[in-house]
A and B are shown apart, each in its own frame.
Chain A
Amino acid sequence: MTDIGWRQSEIRVSLAEPGDYWRLLKPRVMSLVVFTAFVGMIVAPVHVDPVLGLVSLLAIAVGAGASGALNQWWDADIDAIMTRTRGRPIPAGRVTGEETLTYGLTLSAFSVMTLGLAANWLAAGLLAFTIFFYVVVYSMVLKRRTAQNIVIGGAAGALPPVVAWAAVTGSLDWAPIVLFALIFVWTPPHFWSLALLKSEDYARAGVPMLPVVAGESATRTQILAYSALLFPVGLMPWALGFAGVVHGVVAAVGGVVFVGLAAAVFVTRGGAAARKACGRLFGFSILHLFTLFAVLAGERLATAL
């Protein structure tokens, strides 16, 4: 026999299961994207073909998943350090970075192309921009360089309802821009309340989250400021007339509670009580955003029936 010179360490066979590839898409983030995009779609004042609407939502979801995979390819080194992320497929050694890059790029191309064919190329272009913004602007440029990473990077998370609106109308309007603003302003207090709880993890990984570089006190002030700003932004759908009174009331009550919880985070310093205050704000922030979008969808569906 001729020795063809393979060494055991040079040849690797993947043990990855389909579930590992599913986890690369960040399914929890993807579900939030589908939800906000769905609301952006049904708020649009046009008849939506159910098949094309569903396919557009699927394309937006896959695009979001692709950017999640590309983010994990780029951030594999810091994911391996942080306790929250060290079980992800790349740091866990189940999928290689190269495989993830190919997977993410392929899904990006397919999702953008599918949205372009099923809906229109304005929506496809916006989806491509969303993926680019999340992967290049947020992950590659901002995340490791500035404490404003999640403020600017939040634009990527805020774009899905805009993409969905464009998919069904072929144009843009104030309504999707207000939905964008809602998620954009909501993002900093949401992430910073979590960052206050996980600041040691971020510090160990060298990610300059606000509590790590500016300190906890400055972070608490910023959380309060953005929470106060979120109150009027939450009322804008009602003020601009594309949401009803129910939405206005929910936004007002939820906005007051949000500011109240942010004030509790601002006032309560140190110890278990402070951690609890952060946990409460983080939990409520998810409920608040979900409720605002769900009520918007509910009102629109109730009017349509």
Chain B
Amino acid sequence: MSPTLIRAEGGIRLTEAETRARASRNRAIALVLAGLVALFYVVTLAKLGLQPPFKG
């Protein structure tokens, strides 16, 4: 954590390191969410005894 926030006239400005860290966390969350969608999709198919359509 960093107490490096600057109170500026235009509002709060993040430092470059903070922006970079936030972007990498956002990417990780997006990947995890996409992974969860895929996970529940394949679990549903497996529970129903089906094959994914791309397997024919």
What residues on B are CB-neighbors of A55 within 8 Å?
Answer: 39, 42-43, 46
Contact with B along A18-53 (1 / 0, CB 8 A): 100100000000000000000000000000010110
- The size bracket of the interface on B is 20 to 34
- The size bracket of the interface on A is 20 to 34
With known contacts A6-B7, A114-B39, A18–B25 Cβ distance under 8 A:
yes
Does A16 sit within 8 A of B, measured CB to CB?
yes
Q: List residues of chain A with CB under 8 Å of any chain B CB.
A: 1, 6, 8-9, 11-18, 21, 49, 51-52, 55, 58, 93-96, 114, 117-118
Contact B21 A17 (CB under 8 A): yes
8 A Cβ contacts from B16-35 to A: 17-18, 21-22, 24-25, 27-28
Contact B25 A13 (CB under 8 A): no
Contact B3 A9 (CB under 8 A): yes
Which one, A9, A11, A21, A94, contacts B12 given CB within 8 A?
A11
Contact A14 B22 (CB under 8 A): yes
8 A Cβ contacts from B28-56 to A: 28, 39-40, 42-43, 45-47
With known contacts A51-B42, A52-B46, A13–B18 Cβ distance under 8 A:
yes
The SS class assigned to the B binding surface is: helix
What residues on A are CB-neighbors of B28 within 8 Å?
Answer: 18, 21
How far is A130 from B25 in the complex, measured between Cα atoms in Å? 29
Contact B46 A14 (CB under 8 A): no
Contact B24 A93 (CB under 8 A): no
What residues on B are CB-neighbors of A15 within 8 Å?
Answer: 1-2, 17-18, 21
Contact A93 B43 (CB under 8 A): no
How far is A21 from B24 in the complex, measured between Cα atoms in Å? 12
What residues on A are CB-neighbors of B21 within 8 Å?
Answer: 14-17
Contact B46 A49 (CB under 8 A): yes
With known contacts A1-B9, A11-B5, A93-B1, A16–B25 Cβ distance under 8 A:
yes
Q: Can you name the residue of chain A whose Cβ is closest to the Cβ of B2? A: A15
Which one, B9, B17, B43, contacts A118 given CB within 8 A?
B43
